[in-house]
Structure 1
Amino acid sequence: MKKNVLIVTYYWPPAGGPGVQRWLKFVKYLPDFNINPIVFIPDNADYPLVDKSLLDDVSEDITILKSPIREPYKFAKLLTGKKATTISKGIITEWTKQSRIERLMLYIRGNFFIPDARKSWVKPSVALLSDYISKHNIDTIITTGPPHSVHLIGLKLKEHFGVKWIADFRDPWTTIGYHKELKLTKASEAKHKRLESQVLNTADDIIVTSSPTKREFEAITNAPIHVITNGYDKVSTGVISLNEKFTLAHIGSLLSKRNPKVLWRVLSDLVKANPEFAQDFQLNMVGSIGEDVLESIEKFGLNRYLNAVGYVSHQEAIVYQKQSQVLLLIEIDSEDTKCIIPGKLFEYMVSNRPIVAMGPEATDVEQILKTTNTGQYFLYKDYAGLKHVILNHYESFKKGSLQSNPIGLQKYSRRALTESLSKIL
C-alpha cells in the first residue's frame, strides 16, 4: 500500500520560474518509490511568471487540492503597475534609485505582511486541510517555502494533529538577500526570527538545498537537517545546433545587485582589442534584467552585442542553453548568497556547454563545478582569470572544439534526488 503524503506549496504550474520545478519533479517521481503525493495549492494565485508548458509534467493521477488566496500584489498593481510585479519577482532597485512609492511598498511588505504577502492563505488553508486530514489517511505533511508563510500552515497542522511534518527550505528565511531591503522595524525583524525559530524547532525534519543553509539552521535547531539539492530532468528537445556566433548566455533573472561589472569590463576590453572577437561575440540575456545591469552593459559599450530575450518558457530556456557556446552563472557577491545554489546550475551541467560562474568565496557552486568538471568559478575581483578563460573558450570556439566534459552528474538527476527524499519519508 502506498504511503499518502500531503505537500503544501504555493508555486505550481502554470507558475513559471525555478521555484515551481523542485516539487513538480519530486511529485513526478515519488510514486516510483511507493509514495502517493497529494498536492495542496492556491486556487487563484497571482504568479509573477507563468509557464503553461510545465502543466505537461503534472500527472492526471495526482490528487490536487485547491483553496482560494487573497493576493495583495493584485491590489498593489492597480496603484503602481509594473513596479509591484518586479518587487514580487524579487527585483529591488538600489536605495538611491528607489521612488517614494517603491520605498513605501517595501516598508508595507516588510512590516505588515509577516512573514510575507501570502500570510492570509494560512488560516483558510489550515481549516480546509484539517478536515481533509481527518477524513483521509494522512500521517505526513511537507511544506515548501518561500513563501515561508506556507510553513505556518505546517506548524498549525502539526500542533492540531501531531502528524509528521517536513519543512523544505528552497531558500533561507531571515538571511536571504532581499530580506534586508524590506525596511524592517526592530519589532518586525524580531517577529521574523521568532517565527523562523518556531518552525525550525517544531518540524520533525528540515530539508535544505545547500550545506551553508544547513550550517546556519544547525545553530537554531536540533532537528535533523538534510541537504537535497535541486537537479535536472530529461527534456526532449530534438537535435539542437550550436550558435554560429560566440554566444555567452545567461538564463534567468539578473537582479540589480547581481551585476558583474568586472565581466562587462573584460568583454568590453576584448571587443575593443580584438576586431575578430567583436565580430563573433554575442551576449544573450534570457530572463528579467535589472535596470542597473542594463545601465552597466551600456556604460561598457556592450549594447550592440546584447540580445535581451526576456522571459521564455522552461522548454525554450533549455534550447537557449544547449545552443549557447558558453553559459554564464552569476550570483550576488555577498556573504548572504553563499548558501544559494541556483536551480539552473544543474540544467546547465547537462547542456554540455562550459560554464563560467561568478559569486562569493567558498560556495557549494564552486565545489560542484570542480567535482563535475563542468566549468570555472571566479570571484568578482578576478579580472585576469575571467579574461584568460573567456579567451581560451573563444580560441576553442574558433577551432570548433569548445565543449564540456562532465563527470558524476547522475546523482543530481531529479529521480535520484527523489529517491533520497523517499528515504526521509
Structure 2
Amino acid sequence: MTTEPRRRPRVLYLSFYFPPSRASGVYRARATANHLAARDWDVTVFAAPLRFLHEVTGSVDEKLAETVDPRIRVERPDLSHFKWERDLRRFSRFRRTMPILARNLYEAGQRIFPEHYASWGYHAVRKALRLHARHRFDVVVATGNPFASFAAAWLFHRLTRVPYVVDYRDSWTLDLFADKPGFPDGHPAWGWERRVLSRASAAVFVNEALRGWHAERYPAAADRMMVVPNGWDPDLLTEVGDAEPAVRPDAPAPLRFSYVGTLTAAQPVEEMASAFEIARRHPDLADAELNIYGHLGFFQSSQSALLERLGLDGDRRDTANVPDRGIRYRGPVAKTQISRAYADSDVLVFLAGGARYVTSGKIFEYMAAARPIVSVHAPGIAATEVLRGYPLWFNADSLDPEQIAQSMMAAGKMARDLTPELRAAARRHAEAYTRETVLGPLEAKLRTLT
C-alpha cells in the first residue's frame, strides 16, 4: 500500500518591498518568507516590479537578494508608473493624446483606493487568481506599506474565501512621527482599513503600543490582533557576536561611535551631531569619531540635505570645508556586509525619529552586536520597551544635546571598561529577539488557518 506524499501548506506573501529592494521593512519581509520556507511552507511572494526599484526608488541591494531561500517563488505584478513617469516618450498613447482625461481618470481611481500603488494590488489579485486555479493557496499574508497589499488580500479572500493575515510593519492611518491620525475624518483610508480588519483572520503589529492604538479604534477586531516584534538575522550578523571591541584600557585607541542604518529627515540628526561635538570636549573623547554607515534617505535627492544636517559639505564625504566635528560619512554598506560595520564599532548610536509608537528594526541588530548603545530619540518611544534590561544601554531620556553628550561620555567609558561577562549578558538579552524566536507565533497562527 502506497501513501501520497504530504502536501505542503501553500502561502501567498504580498510584500511589495522585497529583495533586492532596500526599503526599511524589507528585512522583516525577507525573514518572514525565509522562516516559512524553512518550516516546509510552499512560499510564493508577490513583490514590486524591478523597474520601479531601479528607476523610481533607485535603492537596491543585489547581494540581499542572494539571501532569499531558493525555494521561494517570487512574482512581480505590474504597477502603473503614472505617478512617477516623467519621460514623455514612455507615456501611453492614451495619455499622450488626452493627458487631462488620463489624469482625471487616475485621480478618480485614487478616490476609490487612496494609494499610488493601487494598480499593483489589482494586478496582484489577477495573478493570484490564475495561480490559485492551478494550485490553490491555503493562506495569504500581506505586509504594508504600501497598503494596496492589504486591499489585495481582502479582495482575493472575497473571491476565493482563502483566509488572510495582515502584517503592520508600518501604520496605515496613524502618523507615527506626528503621533496623530494620518488622514482627516471621512477619508477613504479609514473605510478601507475597517473593511480589511473586519475579515482578516489576524492582524499583526510590531509593538504593543501600535496594537493598542488599533484595538481601540477597531474593537471588533481586537481579539484577532497580535504582536510580532522585529528581530535580528543571525545569518546576516555572522561576525558580530564574537568580535571583541578594539579599545583596551591599557592600550587606548580613538573611540569609534557609529550609526548604522538609513539616515532620514524624520530623525533628530542635528541633536545627534551637536551632542557628539559637545562630548568630544572631554579629553577621553577628543579624538573620537562618529561614523555614519548607510544610505542618506530612500531617494537620491535626499543626500545633500542630510549631509548638510550632519554638518558636512554637501559635495564631499568629509569635513574638509568646515570645522572638524569628528563626523564621517562612510557610505552605504550592503546588508550582507553589515556585520563588519558593527564589528568595527565601539559604541552604537541609536538614532530614531517619531514618538511612542516607534520601535525601529535596527535596535535588534544593535543589541546583537553587544556594544554600548546611546539613545538619541524622543522620550518614551516603543523601542525603550525592547532596550529595557539591556545592560549596555545609555539613555538620556531627552533630546537635549547636553544630556545626550553625557550619555555618550558614559558609553565611551563603558566601551573601554567592557568585560566579557557584560558582553555575554548583553548578548543573552538579544537572543530573545532572533527572527526564529519572534516569528514562531506567527507561523503557528498560520498553521491554524490552513
Same fold (TM over 0.5): yes
- Contact 2:276/2:290 (CA < 8 Å) preserved in 1? no
Show CA shifts across 1:98-136 (max 9, x none).
xxxxxxxxxx9x977953321111222211211222321
C-alpha distance 390-5 of structure 1, shift in aligned 2 (>3 A): same
What SS does the corresponding residue of 1:421 show, helix, strand or coil? helix
- Contact 1:13/1:55 (CA < 8 Å) preserved in 2? yes
Task: Supply the distance in 2 between the matched residues of 1:166 and 1:344 (Cα, whole angstroms).
Answer: 24
- Contact 2:63/2:336 (CA < 8 Å) preserved in 1? yes
C-alpha distance 158-399 of structure 1, shift in aligned 2 (>3 A): closer
Q: RMSD of the alignment, in Å?
A: 3.3
Task: Supply the distance in 1 between the matched residues of 2:392 and 2:156 (Cα, whole angstroms).
Answer: 43
Question: For residues 6-405 of structure 1, what are the structure 2 equivalents within 5 Å?
Answer: 6-47=12-53, 48=57, 49-72=59-82, 74-76=84-86, 114-177=113-176, 190-221=187-218, 222-223=220-221, 224-234=224-234, 235=236, 236-237=238-239, 242=245, 244-271=253-280, 273-274=281-282, 277-288=285-296, 293-298=306-311, 303-332=324-353, 334=354, 337-383=355-401, 385-398=403-416, 404=423, 405=425
Matched AA of 1:322: A
Matched AA of 2:296: S
What SS does the corresponding residue of 1:357 show, helix, strand or coil? strand
What SS does the corresponding residue of 2:36 show, helix, strand or coil? helix
Structure 1 length-normalised TM: 0.81
Matched AA of 1:23: A
- Contact 1:359/1:378 (CA < 8 Å) preserved in 2? no
Show CA shifts across 1:164-190 (max 9, x none).
110111011121347999997x58x61
- In the TM superposition, residue 10 of structure 1 has moved relative to its aligned partner by 0.6
Matched AA of 1:255: T
Task: Supply the distance in 1 between the matched residues of 2:66 and 2:331 (Cα, whole angstroms).
Answer: 22
What SS does the corresponding residue of 1:153 show, helix, strand or coil? helix
Q: Percent of aligned positions with the same letter in both sequences?
A: 18
Larger Rg: 2
Unmatched tracts of structure 2, length 5 or more: 1-5, 89-106, 247-252, 313-318
What SS does the corresponding residue of 1:284 show, helix, strand or coil? strand
Unmatched tracts of structure 1, length 5 or more: 80-107
- Contact 1:10/1:147 (CA < 8 Å) preserved in 2? yes
- Contact 2:368/2:431 (CA < 8 Å) preserved in 1? no
What SS does the corresponding residue of 1:200 show, helix, strand or coil? helix
Matched AA of 2:71: D
Aligned residues: 389
- In the TM superposition, residue 247 of structure 1 has moved relative to its aligned partner by 1.7
Task: Supply the distance in 1 between the matched residues of 2:225 and 2:323 (Cα, whole angstroms).
Answer: 45
Task: Supply the distance in 1 between the matched residues of 2:416 and 2:11 (Cα, whole angstroms).
Answer: 53
- In the TM superposition, residue 39 of structure 1 has moved relative to its aligned partner by 1.6
Matched AA of 2:137: I
Task: Supply the distance in 2 between the matched residues of 1:202 and 1:304 (Cα, whole angstroms).
Answer: 54
* Deviation larger for 25-34 or 415-424: 25-34
What SS does the corresponding residue of 2:256 show, helix, strand or coil? strand
User: Could you say which structure has the higher helix fraction?
Assistant: 1
Task: Supply the distance in 1 between the matched residues of 2:147 and 2:396 (Cα, whole angstroms).
Answer: 31
* Deviation larger for 304-313 or 241-250: 241-250
Task: Supply the distance in 1 between the matched residues of 2:111 and 2:328 (Cα, whole angstroms).
Answer: 39
- In the TM superposition, residue 313 of structure 1 has moved relative to its aligned partner by 1.0
- Contact 1:260/1:380 (CA < 8 Å) preserved in 2? no
Structure 2 length-normalised TM: 0.77
Show CA shifts across 1:199-232 (max 9, x none).
2222121011111110111023222011001111
Give the corresponding residue for 2:445: 424
